[in-house]
């Protein structure tokens, strides 16, 4: 079920972006580090700088 929901969400986002003339430059997957960092009041890079998800955020910067 989760994968289907993710596909639907991705489709909806791509439709909206197409309508406004924009595009997705990358994808950050759902990760527990993101939620934990938010709860802690930090960015993912501050919260867990050695995590793979922090590396993904750095790649986009």
Q: Are 44 and 54 in contact (CB under 8 A)?
A: yes
Per-residue model confidence (pLDDT) at position 48: 96
Per-residue pLDDT reduced to its tens digit, 5-61? 888 888 898 899 999 999 888 888 889 999 999 999 999 999 999 999 999 999 988
DSSP state of 60: H
Nearest to 29 by CA among 48, 12, 1, 54: 54
Termini Cα distance of the chain: 32
Q: Are 2 and 31 in contact (CB under 8 A)?
A: no
DSSP character at residue 21: T
pTM: 0.66
């Amino acid at each position: 079920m989760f994968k289907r929901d993710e596909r639907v969400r991705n489709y909806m986002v791509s439709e909206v972006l197409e309508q406004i003339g924009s595009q997705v430059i990358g994808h950050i997957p759902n990760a527990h580090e993101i939620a934990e960092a938010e709860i802690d009041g930090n960015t993912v890079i501050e919260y867990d700088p050695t995590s793979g998800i922090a590396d993904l955020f750095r790649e986009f910067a």
